[in-house]
Amino acid sequence: QSVLTQPPSVSAAPGQKVTISCSGSSSNIGNNYVSWYQQLPGTAPKLLIYENNKRPSGIPDRFSGSKSGTSATLGITGLQTGDEADYYCGTWDSSLSAHAVFGGGTQLTVL
Amino acid sequence: EVQLVESGGGLVQPGGSLRLSCAASGFTFSSYWMSWVRQAPGKGLEWVANIKQDGSEKYYVDSVKGRFTISRDNAKNSLYLQMNSLRAEDTAVYYCARVSVAGTVDYWGQGTLVTVSS
């Protein structure tokens, strides 16, 4: 059972938009920055969004992040088949020293 | 370019030990917290352990406390995870990861598979 809650799967057609939610508590999302990771099949996770809504260089602006209270959201617009992957949210838990926590992951299917 | 390369994974019997290594390059290793994160087959990500820049602070997920030890050698730009008393539930791909100054787990290695089975 993951500390952060994500939907197991989402799907949408190419070109459409999808959002992935991540729900936590005041001890994690509520008081810490949220990151989002993309994991393509058979590969390591890759940072997509950091500090709630910032994109590392090289990440297209089709990917966006937001946070409100104890929840965060990843948005992906202009869906491409290459976006099919597992997506994870992550943050820290202030109630546990230097403990990172992750969501259970959301599998994105581009129909 | 930041690179993290893990090694040391393999098949080990329950109760056995294994030492994972992570070779870092492309950044000033001694300036960053480092982490180990694992992923059981078909499952999500689970943070395992963190270590401060100088090794003075170490933190572990409850399920590995007393069995795993994280360490680092800044002179060799290397991170380690000593795993003892291994259990079947420790079977996973283990990733070495860098923690940015702002606290983001920003770079990940390619992972090394640890299989605990008789």
Residues of A in contact with B56 (CB under 8 A): none
According to DSSP, the β-strands at B45-51 and B33-39 are antiparallel
Q: How far is B13 from chain A (nearest CA, A)?
A: 25
Among chain B residues, CA nearest to A106? B44
* Confidence band of B111 (pLDDT split at 50, 70, 90): very high
Three-class secondary structure of residue A68 per DSSP: strand
Q: What is the pLDDT of residues A69-90, one digit of tens each?
A: 999 999 999 999 999 999 999 9
In whole angstroms, how far apart are CA A43 and each of A7, A48, A66?
A: 21, 14, 25
- Print the SS3 string covering chain B: CCEEEEECCEEECCCCCEEEEEEEECCCHHHCEEEEEEECCCCCEEEEEEECCCCCCEEECHHHCCCEEEEEEHHHCEEEEEECCCCHHHCEEEEEEEECCCCCEEEECCCEEEEECC
- Closest by Cα among A87, A61, A91, A97 to A7: A87
Looking up tokens 């966006």, which residue turns up? A64
- One-letter identity of residue B57: E
Sign of the Cα torsion A6, A108, B114, B36 reads negative
Does the pLDDT of residue A25 top 90, yes or no? Answer: yes
Percent of chain A at pLDDT exceeding 70: 100
* Confidence band of A95 (pLDDT split at 50, 70, 90): confident
- One-letter identity of residue A85: A
Report how far apart the first and last C-alpha atoms of chain B are (Å, whole number): 40
* B94 in reach of chain A (CB within 8 A): no
> How would you label A78-103 residue by residue, b for 16+ Cβ within 10 Å and e otherwise?
ebeeebebbbbbbbbbeeeebbbbbb
Burial of residue B58 (CB within 10 Å: 0-12, 13-18, 19+) is middle
CB contact under 8 A, A100 and B105: yes
CB contact under 8 A, B47 and A45: no
Does the pLDDT of residue A91 top 80, yes or no? Answer: yes
Q: How far is B44 from chain A (nearest CA, A)?
A: 5
Considering only CB atoms, A45 lies closest to which of B45, B57, B61, namely B45
Burial of residue A48 (CB within 10 Å: 0-12, 13-18, 19+) is buried
Helix (H) or strand (E) holding A102: strand A99-102
| Stretch A16-34: mean pLDDT | 95
